[in-house]
Each structure stands twice: as C-alpha cells, then as structure tokens.
Structure 1
Amino acid sequence: MSGERHPACLRHLHWAAAAGVAMQLALGWGSEAIDGDTGMRLLRIHFQLGMVLLALMLLRLACRLVRRMPPADGGEPRWRRRAARIVHAGLYLLLFLLPISGYVIWVWMEAPLDVLGVLRAPRLFMPPANDETWRAVAWYVHFACAWGLSALVALHVAAALWHQWVWRDGLISRRML
C-alpha cells in the first residue's frame, strides 16, 4: 500500500474542481428549471464558472503531466486499478467536453463572453445565421455529458467512501488531503 501523497497542485485543483462541479450542476439544472431573468442570470454564472473550471482543468492536466504521481497500490486487484483509471479518464474527458460544448452554445446565443468581469473569452467562431444544427448538437452533448459526469462523480465518491469507511485503508487522507 503506497502511502505517498499526490502532488499538492493536484490535491488543491481536485478539491477546487469538485466544489466547482457541484456548483455547476446546481446552476445548470437551476437555470433550466427557472424561467426569465433569474434563469438567465444563473446561466450566465454557469457559463463563467464553466470557463474557470476549464482553466482549472488545463492547470490540472499540466500539473499531472509534469509532476510524478505516486505508484498505484500494488495490493489492489488489477480490475480495480483499471476501473479507477477508466473512471478518472472519463472524469477528465467530461470536464473538458462540458465547458467546450457550453462555450459553443454560449457563442451561438451571442451572449457576453466576459468571465467574472476580469477576462473575456475569445469568440473562436461565428455561427451561421440560419443553421442551428451545431448549437443543437452542442446542447445534446452538454446535456448527456452533465448526466454522465453526475454518474461518474457519484461512482468516484462512492468508491472513495468505500475505501475510507468499509475497507478503512485511509485512501482519502493518505492521498488527497
């Protein structure tokens, strides 16, 4: 059992992303459920936080590429190590697909691209005037990825809690705190 911790940059970015994802899910679903100005304000915050999460994920990926990761627990069965890698890869993939698809939707809406009043996301494309096909595709991707992310987050949290409370192997405190 490896007692080595993940690099500090990954631990901090993990918990920042976890908090951001929880807020994003609440804001996204809340903006869908509430009509009018309030729903649009929630959606605007949702877009801005999505851009912040994209930046955090880019930092996390950079940190992951340049920092040495602790070795996998040799006592874990191979299927569990493989399942953990698949879940983590899925989380990374969805945490990039969601802000990218959200950005496409936002640009198509011709909404303001400012982020927290400090930065402005660049407009990387101009949507065609009479064709909303790609906006619809982006919305379906965004919607499906939000549900997929919710499922993977639930699985990730359940596995961490299982390690902590059932196996009592101290995984959370040993690796991520």
Structure 2
Amino acid sequence: MSRYTLPAIILHWLIALLIIAAFALGITMVDIPGITPTKLKYFSWHKWIGITVLGLACLRLLWRLGHKAPAYSSAMPGWQQSAAHSLHGLLYLLMFAIPVSGYFYSLAAGVPVVYLGVLPLPALIDPNPEWKAILKQVHYWLNMTLLVMFALHVVAALKHQFIDRDGVLKRMLP
C-alpha cells in the first residue's frame, strides 16, 4: 500500500499536536477566574498556536494540491471511502475556520493579536460587542465540532489498524 509523502506526514502530526495543545490551553484558560498573569499568558500561547496551525494548514493544503493522497485499498467499501473523504474535507475546513474565528473574536473583543509577542497582525475589524458574543459562540462550536471529528478520525484509524488490519494507518505513520 502506498504512503503519504514525508512532508505530508510531518505536517499532519505537527498540526495534530498543536491542535491538541491549543484545545487543552483553551479549556484550561477559560476556567481560570478573573484576569491573572497566568491566564493572559495562556491566552497568548493559545493565539500563537492558532496562528501557527493556520500557517501550517496553508502549507499542508498547498502541499496536498500538488501531491495526491495515496489511494485507499480496493477492499475498502465505497461508503467508507466517501466518509473518509468527507471527514478529511471537514477537518481541513476546521483547521482554517477555527483560527480565523478566534482571530476575529479577539479583534471584536478589542484585543490585538501579536504573533509570538513581536508581530502584530492587522486589525481587520473594529471592536464590536455584538460580534464578540457571536464570534465567541462560533469559535466554541467549531471547536466542539472539531473535537467530535477528531475523535471519529482517531476511532476510524484505530478500526483500520486493529479490526480491518488493512494498513490505512501505516500510510500516515513516520
């Protein structure tokens, strides 16, 4: 069975680890009461990770446009291939939508995003309390959707590895 290219594998796992870290930070930081130095630090790290994920997702999409994914096994039913294709498409969409929604949420809240504390990103919208409330909910629900899709992705990979034993997971392992 053919495999993904090394750049695709590296980007896959790096983005996955960064998304897990951003999600963990997001859950942790919102539970810290008040405004503390630790909470502010976590918010900054969360934003930096989000912008990094967005940049890496752009690289990944560009790589993917020039390099086809390996074909699925002919033994895999068509509905599973369609489901996998749809899930991957949704994961790509979320890799873009979540950082963008978080960025706009910060801007609507009147909080600039300064990447790594040195590179101020442009303020594309003015502070707006109504948009802040909407974008907060959009960011939250996109993340909850990602959590479910991520779980489905992992469960499907493990099913292919341990039940079907068809080598699908090995295509993405380094």
TM-score, normalised to structure 2's length?
A: 0.92
**Could you tell me how far apart the structure 2 residues matched to 1:6 and 1:110 are?**
42
Aligned to 1:145: 142
Aligned to 1:89: 89
Aligned to 2:158: 161
CA RMSD of aligned residues (A): 1.5
1:95-124, Cα deviation, whole Å (9 max, x unpaired):
111101100111123324221235332222
Aligned to 1:14: 12
1:36-60, Cα deviation, whole Å (9 max, x unpaired):
2122221111111100100010111
C-alpha spacing 1:15/1:175, structure 2 compared with 1 (3 Å): closer
- Amino acid corresponding to residue 149 of structure 1 in structure 2: L
Q: Determine if contact 1:4/1:175 at 8 Å carries over to the other structure.
A: no
Q: Which moved more, 1:4-13 or 1:149-158?
A: 4-13
- The correspondence of residues 41-56 of structure 1 with structure 2, limited to 5 A, is 41-56=41-56
**Could you tell me how far apart the structure 2 residues matched to 1:168 and 1:118 are?**
48
**Could you tell me how far apart the structure 2 residues matched to 1:106 and 1:140 are?**
13
1:131-166, Cα deviation, whole Å (9 max, x unpaired):
x22111111110101110000001100111111112
Q: Determine if contact 2:2/2:70 at 8 Å carries over to the other structure.
A: yes
Q: Determine if contact 2:112/2:123 at 8 Å carries over to the other structure.
A: no
**Could you tell me how far apart the structure 2 residues matched to 1:27 and 1:9 are?**
27
Q: Determine if contact 1:33/1:39 at 8 Å carries over to the other structure.
A: no
TM-score, normalised to structure 1's length?
A: 0.90
Could you list the runs of 4 or more consecutive aligned residues of structure 1 that deviate by over 3 angstroms after TM superposition? none
Q: Determine if contact 2:109/2:127 at 8 Å carries over to the other structure.
A: no
Among 151, 154, 172, the alignment partner of 2:169 is 172
- Partner secondary structure for residue 12 of structure 1: helix
**Could you tell me how far apart the structure 2 residues matched to 1:175 and 1:13 are?**
10
Count of aligned pairs between the two proteins: 172
- Partner secondary structure for residue 123 of structure 1: coil
- Amino acid corresponding to residue 153 of structure 1 in structure 2: F
Structure 2 gap segments, 5+ residues each: none
Q: Determine if contact 1:98/1:145 at 8 Å carries over to the other structure.
A: yes
**Could you tell me how far apart the structure 1 residues matched to 2:99 and 2:80 are?**
29
Aligned to 1:79: 79
- Amino acid corresponding to residue 53 of structure 1 in structure 2: V
